Structure 1
Amino acid sequence: MGNYIARRLLIAVPVFFGITLLSFLLMNMAPGNPVDMLINPNIPQEMLELKREQLGLNDPLYMQYVRWLGGLLRGELGYSFSSFAPVSQLIGERIGPTLLLAVSSLLIGILIAIPIGVISAVYQNSRLDYVMTGLSFLGTSVPPFFLGLGLIYLMGIELKWLPTGGITTLGGTGGIGDIISHMILPVAVMGVTIAGKKVRYIRASMVDVLHQDYLRTARAKGLSEFRVTAKHALRNALIPIIAVIGAEIPLLLGGSIIIEQVFQWPGIGQLTMEAILSRDYPTLMGLNIAAACIVLTTNLITDIMYAAVDPRISYR
């Protein structure tokens, strides 16, 4: 296992640098730059040129990339062009709320999807199966922003049961209970979307496992149907689902941009939109690096989990 992890880490190094180069080129190919956001009739052209020179925007792209990469290797992500704060500080302040929202949504989505997918597979082609499959398609089909706005209107405005945005109440103490109450709506939206996609995978995997010979042998030994399904079938059915769950992490980071805008959640998604609108290259590059590290780490953990749950897999 140690050798496998070492090989994966070595492979991740050129992938990581490839991501930095591609991200840097795409950022600079986009129209506009931070100085363009300052243009108004009252600012002389000389001042704009001086600002471009100060930010290094007049240098060739390869020089800008080498300068930025050198800072990255020293552990420095640079300074924001809009707020002039260290990019690492901005990301550090926002990544906690985003991870809290993403991890909570993933757990809720999986906890919803597993029992629904198992029940749907056990009662295959029954009315219950059709209802649960239909609900999973509905959860996948409804756009998250539309569902979020609907819940805000119903639960926040009409019924006034839950807060409609933010992570804490303005002027409040900001305790755990307050944070949880603000999490309910965004977590519900993301959890429903995740569950809708995962139900079909779990159902298909369970249907395949339920027809295996070793389950018929377990039933012939006198084991109850619940024990056969929960202990033998479910564990083997979840093995291919691990890869699907691991692939969900990058999608969560991307989807959080929409959800954080709808619910005004102070996380990475909101910071990304602010950086895009202000053409803040250093912040966008820092966000890309953070996302790349999360994706590469998630893929490694997914492969390790495969070996942990499936004894047939051995890494040498």
Structure 2
Amino acid sequence: MGHYIVRRIMIAIPVFFGITLLSFLIMNMAPGNPVDMLINPNIPKEMLELKKERLGLNDPLFVQYVKWLGGFLKGDLGYSFSSFAPVSQLIGERIGPTLLLASSSLLVGILIAVPVGVISAIHQNSKLDYIMTGLSFLGTSIPPFFLGLGLIYMTGIELKWLPTGGMKTLGGTGGISDIILHMILPVTVLGVTIAGKKVRYVRASMLDVLQQEYLRTARAKGLSEFIVTNKHALRNALIPIITVVGAEIPLLLGGSIIIEQVFQWPGIGQLTMEAILSRDYPTLMGLNLVAACIVLSTNLITDLLYAAVDPRISYN
């Protein structure tokens, strides 16, 4: 197992730097630059050119990338072009709320999808199966931003049950209970979206396993249906489920950008939008680094979970 992990890490290193290079090139190919955002009739063109020179924007792309890479290898992600704060500080302040929102939403989505998918598979082609499948399609079809705005209007504006935005109440103490109240709406939206997509995968995986011969043998031995379903069938159905859940994590970070905008959640989603609108290259590169690390580590953890779930899989 240890050799496999080391080998995967060695493979991930060139992939990681390849991602940074492609991200840098694509980002700089987009029209506009940070100085263009400062265009004002009262600013002379000479001042704009001087600003570009100081920021290094007049250097060739390869030179700019090498300078950024050299700083990264020294642990320096540079400074934001818009706020002039260290990029590492900006990301450090925002990554916690995003991870809290994403992990909570993923947990809620799994807790909904797995039981619903299992029950739907057990009662295949029944009314209950049709109802649960229909609800899963509904959860997948509703755009997250539309569902979020609807929940804000109903529970926040009309009924005034829950806060409609932010992570803490302005002027409040910001305790755990306050954070949980602010998390309910965004976690509900993301959790419903995740569950809607994953119910069908769980159902299909369980249907495939329920048709295997060894389950008939387990029933013939007198095992209860609960043990047959939850101990034997569900465990063998987990491998494809782990695959789709692992693939959901990077998508979840991308989807959280929209939700963070809707609910004004102070995470990296908001920071990403601010960096895009201001053409803040150092901040965007720092965010791409975070995304690349999450994707590569998630893929490794997913592969390791295969061996934990199925003893037949070994990486020795």
Q: What's the TM-score bracket when you normalise by the shorter of the two chains?
A: over 0.9
Deviations for 1:223-243, whole angstroms, at most 9, x for unmatched residues? 111111111111111121111
2:246 pairs with 1:243:
no
Q: How far 1:312 moved relative to its partner?
A: 1.1
Deviations for 1:103-135, whole angstroms, at most 9, x for unmatched residues? 000000000001100000000000100000000
- Which residue does 2:210 correspond to in 1? 210
2:211 pairs with 1:196:
no
Secondary structure of the 1:311 match is: coil
- Which residue does 2:230 correspond to in 1? 230
Quick one: distance in 2 between partners of 1:15 and 1:158? 50
Q: How far 1:28 moved relative to its partner?
A: 0.4
Fraction of identical pairs, as percent = 85
- Which residue does 1:18 correspond to in 2? 18
Q: How many residues align?
A: 316
2:101 pairs with 1:101:
yes
Structure 2 unaligned regions, length at least 5? none
Quick one: distance in 2 between partners of 1:118 and 1:237? 10
Quick one: distance in 1 between partners of 2:192 and 2:73? 40
Secondary structure of the 2:205 match is: helix
Q: How far 1:290 moved relative to its partner?
A: 0.6
Quick one: distance in 1 between partners of 2:247 and 2:8? 17
- Which residue does 2:134 correspond to in 1? 134
- Which residue does 1:167 correspond to in 2? 167
Q: How far 1:12 moved relative to its partner?
A: 0.3
- Which residue does 2:257 correspond to in 1? 257
- Which residue does 1:90 correspond to in 2? 90
Deviations for 1:180-234, whole angstroms, at most 9, x for unmatched residues? 0000000000000000000000000000111111110111111111111111111
Deviations for 1:63-83, whole angstroms, at most 9, x for unmatched residues? 000000001111111000000
Quick one: distance in 1 between partners of 2:230 and 2:247? 25
- Which residue does 1:298 correspond to in 2? 298
Amino acid at match of 1:36: D
Q: How far 1:278 moved relative to its partner?
A: 0.5
Quick one: distance in 1 between partners of 2:20 and 2:222? 58
Secondary structure of the 1:77 match is: coil
Amino acid at match of 2:284: L
Quick one: distance in 2 between partners of 1:309 and 1:251? 24
TM-score in terms of structure 2 length: 0.99
Secondary structure of the 1:238 match is: helix
Quick one: distance in 2 between partners of 1:76 and 1:308? 37
Amino acid at match of 1:138: L
Quick one: distance in 2 between partners of 1:90 and 1:227? 49
Secondary structure of the 2:190 match is: helix
Quick one: distance in 2 between partners of 1:133 and 1:110? 16
Amino acid at match of 2:64: Q
Secondary structure of the 1:9 match is: helix
Deviations for 1:56-103, whole angstroms, at most 9, x for unmatched residues? 000111100000000111111100000000000000000000000000
Amino acid at match of 2:112: I
2:63 pairs with 1:59:
no
2:276 pairs with 1:272:
no
Structure 1, 224-233 or 18-27: larger mean CA deviation: 224-233
Quick one: distance in 2 between partners of 1:188 and 1:97? 16
Which 4+ stretches in 1 moved above 3 angstroms?
Answer: none
Structure 1 unaligned regions, length at least 5? none
Please tell me the root mean square deviation across aligned C-alpha atoms, in Å.
0.5
Quick one: distance in 2 between partners of 1:40 and 1:58? 20
Secondary structure of the 2:173 match is: coil
TM-score in terms of structure 1 length: 0.99
- Which residue does 1:315 correspond to in 2? 315
Quick one: distance in 1 between partners of 2:190 and 2:247? 15
Deviations for 1:256-295, whole angstroms, at most 9, x for unmatched residues? 0000000000000000000000000000000000100011
